[in-house]
Amino acid sequence: MGTVHARSLEPLPASGPDFGALGEEAELVEVEPEAKQEILENKDVVVQHVHFDGLGRTRDDIIMYEIADVFKAKNLIDVMRKSHEAREKLLRLGIFRQVEVLIDTCQGDDALPNGLDVTFEVTELRRLTGSYNTMVGNNEGSMVLGLKFPNLLGRAEKVTFQFSYGTKETSYGLSFFKPQPGNFERNFSVNLYKVTGQFPWSSLRETDRGISTEFNFPIWKTNHTLKWEGVWRELGCLARTASFSVREESGHSLKSSISHAMVIDSRNSSILPKRGALLKINQELAGYTGGDVSFLKEDFEFQLNKQLLWDSVFSASLWGGMLVPIGDKPSSIADRFYLGGPTSVRGFSMYSIGPQSDGDYLGGEAYWAGGFGDLFRTHFFLNAGNLCNLNYGDGPKAHLQKLAEYIRWSYGAGIVLRLGNIARLELNYCFPMGVQSGDRICDGVQFGAGIRFL
Binding positions for another protein, rule: CB under 8 A: 232, 235-237, 239-241, 244, 247-248, 250-254, 290-292
CB atoms within 10 A of CB 388: 21
Taking the complex as a whole, how short is the minimal distance between the CB of residue 441 and another protein, in angstroms?
Answer: 24
Question: Which phi and psi (to 5°) does residue 352 adopt?
Answer: -115, 45
Give the three-class secondary structure for 274: coil
Measure CA 45 to chain center: 39
Closer residue to another protein, CB minimum distance, 86 or 235: 235
Give the three-class secondary structure for 65: helix
- 238 in Cβ contact with 204 (< 8 Å): yes
Taking the complex as a whole, how short is the minimal distance between the CB of residue 335 and another protein, in angstroms?
Answer: 16
Question: Which phi and psi (to 5°) does residue 247 adopt?
Answer: -60, -35
Q: Please state, in angstroms and rounded to a whole number, the distance separating the CA atoms of residues 410 and 434.
A: 8
Count of helix runs (H) and strand runs (E) in the chain = 6, 21
Q: Please state, in angstroms and rounded to a whole number, the distance separating the CA atoms of residues 204 and 216.
A: 33
Closer residue to another protein, CB minimum distance, 287 or 342: 287
Closer residue to another protein, CB minimum distance, 124 or 234: 234
Taking the complex as a whole, how short is the minimal distance between the CB of residue 215 and another protein, in angstroms?
Answer: 24
Taking the complex as a whole, how short is the minimal distance between the CB of residue 353 and another protein, in angstroms?
Answer: 24
Instruction: Report the C-alpha dihedral over residues 361, 362, 363, 365, rounded to 10 degrees.
Output: -150
Nearest to 359 by CA among 435, 442, 438: 438
Taking the complex as a whole, how short is the minimal distance between the CB of residue 210 and another protein, in angstroms?
Answer: 12
Angle CA(209)–CA(212)–CA(215) in degrees, nearest 5?
Answer: 165
Closer residue to another protein, CB minimum distance, 164 or 294: 294
Closer residue to another protein, CB minimum distance, 213 or 312: 213
Closer residue to another protein, CB minimum distance, 119 or 245: 245
CB atoms within 10 A of CB 90: 22
Closer residue to another protein, CB minimum distance, 252 or 306: 252
Taking the complex as a whole, how short is the minimal distance between the CB of residue 435 and another protein, in angstroms?
Answer: 25
Measure CA 323 to chain center: 23
Nearest to 249 by CA among 167, 365, 392, 363: 363
Closer residue to another protein, CB minimum distance, 175 or 253: 253
CB atoms within 10 A of CB 127: 12
Taking the complex as a whole, how short is the minimal distance between the CB of residue 242 and another protein, in angstroms?
Answer: 9
Taking the complex as a whole, how short is the minimal distance between the CB of residue 259 and another protein, in angstroms?
Answer: 19
